[in-house]
Homo-oligomer: A and B are copies of this chain.
């Protein structure tokens, strides 16, 4: 059976990917690496074959794992993916995005396995763009505007050189904002929905605390994301970069209004200066034309459906009276 090694298995997308494979594709052996054990029950998951507790910054460690396992596929999810955290700790962000990826691809180069790698990148790579340049296409110039984005551009440049110069079988994404049940509340949609649940349960005043409410982002449900990662791993064109996005831009304020209407909850919105970043992209909206043309994928889950599943998730997580 073919083996998939997932880096950052313990994260939000890692858990959903294993679930998805379990339900839809049981013809792979799945292995995972992470610094922390997954919160979800990976032992009883029939698709899940082995967990390595390791920090990928440790080159010797990742080398011995890949050499030992000889995976057919590597899904590289390990990342420090918060823009806000990257402003606070830019060196950590760079090391945990770019350097860990370099460790993986250089290991595959040196071991000379035929491993196919999916390098997950970010829409933040595009940087601040003119409204007329939306939706973003893959061949547009990249102007990263925060430490996280710089790290992701470096990662993609390395992927391109390793594919072109050393013949590695790498395919890249620029993944736009994710949402879905289980995402940490340091990410915007999760934070907002959690606050709505807390307000609904009467454990928070009807005041919503957010950063910059005017920024526009393109959100994809994590269930759609894991589906396309499987497709790209098996069918994405080698050396290519694909936007993983919905093609629809929504401002943070619009999302709040939508939730207000869906759950009939009125809130007062407070923009916290402490949550506003040194430089912020006013709008990021992608085109998913290339990925649709190449592998026939587009998102299936509506944004309202996503919000409902996140609302249900937080309803289960948060007791009525804390």
Q: Once the chains bind, are A141 and B144 in contact (CB under 8 Å)?
A: no
- Residue A145 CB within 8 A of the other chain: yes
Copies of this subunit: 2
Cα distance A148–B94 when bound, in Å? 17
Q: Given A150-B154, A157-B144, A279 and B91 touching (CB < 8 A)?
A: no
Q: Is the CB of A164 within 8 A of B279?
A: yes
Of A96-104, A243-251, A284-292, the one touching chain B? A96-104
Write the A77-120 contact mask toward B (1 if CB under 8 angstroms, else 0).
00000000001001100110011001100100100000000000
A103-B91, A166-B278 given; A150·B146 CB < 8 A = no
User: What is the chain B residue whose CB lies nearest that of A140?
Assistant: B141
A153 within 8 A of B: yes
Question: In the bound complex, do residue A161 and residue B150 qualify as a contact, i.e. CB atoms below 8 Å apart?
Answer: yes
Quick check: is A158 within 8 A (CB to CB) of the other chain? Answer: yes
Measured in the bound complex, the distance between the Cα atoms of B158 and A106 in whole Å is: 22
Query: Cβ of B165 and Cβ of A278 under 8 Å apart?
Result: yes
Interface of A is mostly: helix
Contact A153 B161, beta carbon cutoff 8 Å: no
A157 touching B150 in the complex, CB below 8 Å, given contacts A91-B103, A106-B90 = yes
Shortest CB-to-CB span from A232 to chain B, Å, is 22
**Residues on B with beta carbons closer than 8 Å to the beta carbon of A164:** 145, 278-279
Is A147 close to B, CB under 8 A? yes
Chain A residues bordering chain B, tally (CB within 8 A): 29
Tell me the chain A residues, 126-184 only, with Cβ under 8 Å from chain B: 141, 144-147, 150, 153-154, 157-158, 161-162, 164-166
- The answer to whether A161 and B141 touch across the interface, beta carbons within 8 angstroms, is no
Which B residues lie within 8 Å of A278 (CB)? 164-166
How far, in whole Å, are A278 and B163 apart by their CA atoms in the complex? 11
Taking the closest CB of chain B, its distance from the CB of A126, in whole angstroms, is: 13
User: What per-residue 1/0 map shows which CB atoms of A200-239 lie under 8 Å from chain B?
Assistant: 0000000000000000000000000000000000000000
CA distance A307 to B280 in the complex (A): 49
A125 to chain B, nearest CB (A): 10
Residues of B with C-beta under 8 A to A94? 98-99, 102, 158
Complex CA–CA separation, A91 to B147 (angstroms): 20
Q: Which residues of B contact A95 (CB under 8 A)?
A: 99
Other A-B pairs, 5, CB within 8 Å; known A90-B109, A98-B98, A166-B278: A91-B106, A94-B99, A98-B154, A99-B99, A147-B161
The 3 closest A-B pairs by CB, nearest first: A154-B154, A165-B278, A150-B157
